[in-house]
Amino acid sequence: MSSVHVIIGEDDYLVSETAAKVVGDGQGLEVIDSGLSSNAELQLRDIAAADESFSTPPFLDPVKVTWWKNVKFLPQSKGGPSEAVKEALERFARKIASNPLPDSQKFVITGPKMLVASVFAKTLKGVAEIVSFASGKPWEKAKEAVVRVIDAASDMGLSFAPGAADAFVARVGTDTRSLMGELAKMRDYLGGRGAISEADVAEVSSQGVGVEPEVWAITDALGERNLPKALAAIRPFERESGFAVRVTTLVERFLRTLVALKDAAERGRADEATEGMAPFAARKNMGFLRAWTLRELRVARARFMALRERAVSSSGGGVDALVVAELARVCRRPAQGRRAP
């Protein structure tokens, strides 16, 4: 096992937990924190400190562990370090590669981003154990987060009902620290053991930073053609400035997605249409299609497109009432015998 570890990821909980496993009980630990090193002078100072620690073997302790954390100035594809810092990092990487550490010494580097094609990363590749957590598409992060919360719930004596883990991540977000905190709150709510349902998620879990479940509640209610739920979902937004523009834009975009999915499903190409879509969103949207015909979706989308244009160009507040009325109209299902083909 390598004595040099590079752990990269924007999810600080995952990065810290992974580093903690390498650090162990903290014996002989020396920490260099670059979290506040925002300019080249401070960054060069930190590189020198990391170099000195790397070059100094254990003295009084039987082991030595250096944790160089929050290194935000590693080479990146955009907005990377200054040329002087980049060169200093490359020199340090060459030194690490040329001077294997004894078994009694470990060196850990953690940071949010690192360009794998950089000289720094390539130099360390052969001598360091490099762990990089996903920073790709949102649905990829969500997929990995669902796996993590299912495993964490199991460790707590909990389980998720079908679809509840996806709903939990959709509501809380993909930040692992937030997910673990909300999972602990769910454990206390359920009394320590039990299956977490989607109703439990809606009742107990808090909205994550940057996550807007209330907005999703509007589209979910519309997809189900459930008028009471739709009206309850838009109520928090009715007094906000730009209500009509926001809701019509959201609904038109959602209906556009359903039109594409319904058309693809009727042509036997649903798998192609959902490719690249978050699995949870794909399953949910495909389920909504049962409540609609393709013609109904196209007509509803056209009406909301027209209403959005009116909302954008209007300076009065009367459009807000029209948005509510239009939601009521599209949620109303036609009589069974009069359903459009």
Q: What is the pLDDT of residue 337?
A: 45
Token pair recorded at residue 14 = 């995952």
The DSSP symbol for 100 reads: P
SS (H, E, C) 209-259: CCCCHHHHHHHHHHHHCCHHHHHHHHHHHCCCCCHHHHHHHHHHHHHHHHH
Q: What is the pLDDT of residues 147-161, one digit of tens each?
A: 889 999 998 989 998
User: Residue 15 carries which side chain, given as an amino acid letter?
Assistant: V
User: Residue 142 carries which side chain, given as an amino acid letter?
Assistant: A
- The answer on pLDDT for 188 being more than 70 is yes
Please give the share of the chain, as a percent, with pLDDT higher than 70: 91
Cα–Cα distance measured from residue 9 to residue 130, given in angstroms and rounded to the nearest whole number: 11
Mean pLDDT of the chain: 86
Average pLDDT over residues 6-15: 89
Cα–Cα distance measured from residue 32 to residue 69, given in angstroms and rounded to the nearest whole number: 6
Structural domains of the chain, with CATH: 4-132 (3.40.50.300), 138-204 (1.10.8.60), 213-338 (1.20.272.10)
Of 101, 190, 129, the C-alpha closest to 1 is 129
pLDDT tier for residue 340 given thresholds of 50, 70 and 90: very low
Q: What is the pLDDT of residue 317?
A: 58
- The answer on pLDDT for 213 being more than 60 is no
Q: What is the pLDDT of residue 338?
A: 46
- The answer on pLDDT for 186 being more than 50 is yes
- The answer on pLDDT for 86 being more than 90 is yes
User: Which residues pair with residue 64 across a beta bridge?
Assistant: 105
State the DSSP string of 161-226: -TTHHHHHHHHH-S-HHHHHHHHHHHHHHHTT-EEEPHHHHHHHPPPPTT--HHHHHHHHHHHHT-
Cα dihedral 70/73/74/78 (nearest 10):
130
Query: pTM for the whole thing?
Result: 0.60
